[in-house]
Structure 1
Amino acid sequence: MPISSPSLAQLPIRRLTSEDLLACADLAENRGWQREEHKWGLLLTAGTGYGIDDPSGTGLTACSVVTSYGPGLSAIGMVLVAERYARQGVGRRLMEHVIEEAGETPLTLYATANGQPLYEQLGFTQTSRSEMVLGRFTFTTPAPAVPVRPATAEDLQAILRLDHEVFGLDRTPMITRLPAFADHLRVAEVDGEITGFAAAWPNMDTHVVGPLIARDPATAQALIASLAAATDRPLRTDIDVRHTSLLGWAKENGIDTIATTSVMVRSLPDLPGDWRRRFAPLTVAAG
């Protein structure tokens, strides 16, 4: 049963640190999400966390994380409210605080069906949709013969240039964390030019493929197949629904849709960059 408390609106919102990682994971678990401690570690160090402490003195009432890509865009993710405080305006208050902190910076987020009405009331509009797909890759339908290899330290500058071009903004602080954060990082290379890259990072009992940047669907398929061959875990990723050929190929190989989300923006007509070469985010929490 929801807790009615006149003091909820007065509870202070504070910045979270890496020391709040377990409290964030506990809150996620409270709402039926996986704990995802590895991902929380990245988000709380690369981004800015906001939280409301539980008035009972234990854990968090609510939290969210904002990943900044400069004045051009910030991504909001992991918006969570404890079950006992749900539907009492706590989530709205936290979001209004995050929006105020962002100032003139445009915002983006991936919204579930439950969260989308609130975000629309706060000025967000839908620009596309994404399918979360999950499964054990079967290699039933082979990927095109695009050369793919493990990334090396010498590839980093080329990866950063390609990512900036496709994402539309500089996300060097996030991309440079990939070699340590991910278990596998692959590049596609044709005639000495890197035409795509993708990482697979550990998340509970799966490997999440993201980011996935590629010149075309064939290159994206080759990168996913290479990552699938490197792990015995199920693969999970989030693919823009406009990439119908990639989604179809993934499903032919046992990676099926388990959820859909709406990609939303605020103070922008659409996301920057080139969606035709942006196949999957690093994580929906960070864009």
Structure 2
Amino acid sequence: MQTESIVLAPFEAHHVRGALALSRAAGWAHRREDWEMIRSLSEGRVALTGDRVVGTALMTPFGDTCSAINMIIVDESQRGRGLGRKLTTAVLGLAGERECRLTATNDGLPLYEKLGFVATHQIFRHQGIAGKAGAPENVEWIGPDALPAVKALDRTAFGADRDALYNALAKEGSFAAIRKGDHIVAFAATRLFGKGQVVGPVVAENSEQARDLLAFILSSKEGRIVRVDIPEQTGLSSPLEDWGLRREGTVIAMVRGAAGQSETPAVQTFCLASQAIG
């Protein structure tokens, strides 16, 4: 019996249905809407056998300096044949000279190390039914007019231009913020994701502000499924567990071609938009 050949092709809108089937088979939480949002921000490649999608990979550019390599999935029937490496190599080519960031499972770690990625830290996934959290008085909901300030804070924390991502987040969800005088100094975003909702990004000057932002948003989501992804160094696991969001998994943040920062930024990212895009 002849094995059907596999070809790589640009990831286009009509491939989302096949990509969604792959992610569901892999146990991922993504809805069609989640795929469509990230695809709209990205370039990518699909692996096809005939018209069937058997692999995916995306490169999400953040300006000309940085990118996220994400949504790398290979159909179970095609694993062990080097397809994951081919897809990843293809989207690394799309990234050009940009710094590349991704998150890896322990199984994927050896491949990404061979492709030049270096592990930097762990990311913890917290998820569960949100319990009771008090709403701090120093946090407020903000509207679209505050988006330029939010983008500027994220640019400082993340180290790259993610304006397109924030335009998408503004359409999909809501933002809360902490002000000092007339200036926004910390913010959090929330939107629908998977079977529930996600909180992130959270960008703040310190962990106290980050906790206040989380408490404020979770106070409006009591009884709902909520997910939060945090870098290990933020120290937010304990309060998240107190609010009913158990730590359910860990992935490894990796980087390739890191430019580095000359000094510590005034704000940092305490919760991610998602594991895929940081």
Fold match, TM over 0.5?
yes
| Aligned mates of 2:98, 2:148 — CA distance in 1 | 27
1:32-43 matches, cutoff 5 A: 32-43=27-38
Task: Name the counterpart of 2:197.
Answer: 207
Cα separation, partners in 2 of 1:19 and 1:268, compared to 1, 3 Å: same
Root-mean-square deviation (CA), in Å?
A: 2.2
Per-residue CA deviations over 1:179-219 (Å, capped at 9, x if unaligned) read 2112x321122322211111111123211111111121111
Which of 232, 240, 259 does residue 249 from structure 2 map onto?
A: 259
Question: Is the CA contact 2:56–2:74 (under 8 Å) kept in the aligned structure 1?
Answer: yes
Which of 164, 177, 186 does residue 187 from structure 1 map onto?
A: 177
Q: Which amino acid aligns with 1:107?
A: C
1:140-219 matches, cutoff 5 A: 142=134, 145=136, 147-182=138-173, 184-219=174-209
Alignment identity in percent? Answer: 25
1:101 Cα deviation after fit: 2.6
| Aligned mates of 2:259, 2:247 — CA distance in 1 | 27
Task: Name the counterpart of 1:108.
Answer: 101
| Aligned mates of 2:27, 2:130 — CA distance in 1 | 26
1:121 Cα deviation after fit: 1.1
Q: Which moved further from structure 2: 73-82 or 195-204?
A: 195-204
Cα separation, partners in 2 of 1:4 and 1:278, compared to 1, 3 Å: farther
Cα separation, partners in 2 of 1:269 and 1:172, compared to 1, 3 Å: closer
Per-residue CA deviations over 1:229-259 (Å, capped at 9, x if unaligned) read 2224221011010011x22211122211111
TM-score (norm 2): 0.91
Cα separation, partners in 2 of 1:152 and 1:131, compared to 1, 3 Å: same
TM-score (norm 1): 0.89
SS of the counterpart of 1:177?
helix
| Aligned mates of 1:271, 1:263 — CA distance in 2 | 17
| Aligned mates of 1:102, 1:151 — CA distance in 2 | 34
1:4 Cα deviation after fit: 9.2
SS of the counterpart of 2:277?
coil
Q: Which moved further from structure 2: 173-182 or 256-265?
A: 173-182
Per-residue CA deviations over 1:88-128 (Å, capped at 9, x if unaligned) read 11101111111223222221101111111111111100011
Q: Which amino acid aligns with 2:14?
A: E
User: Which protein has the bigger strand share?
Assistant: 2
1:17 Cα deviation after fit: 2.1
1:63 Cα deviation after fit: 0.2
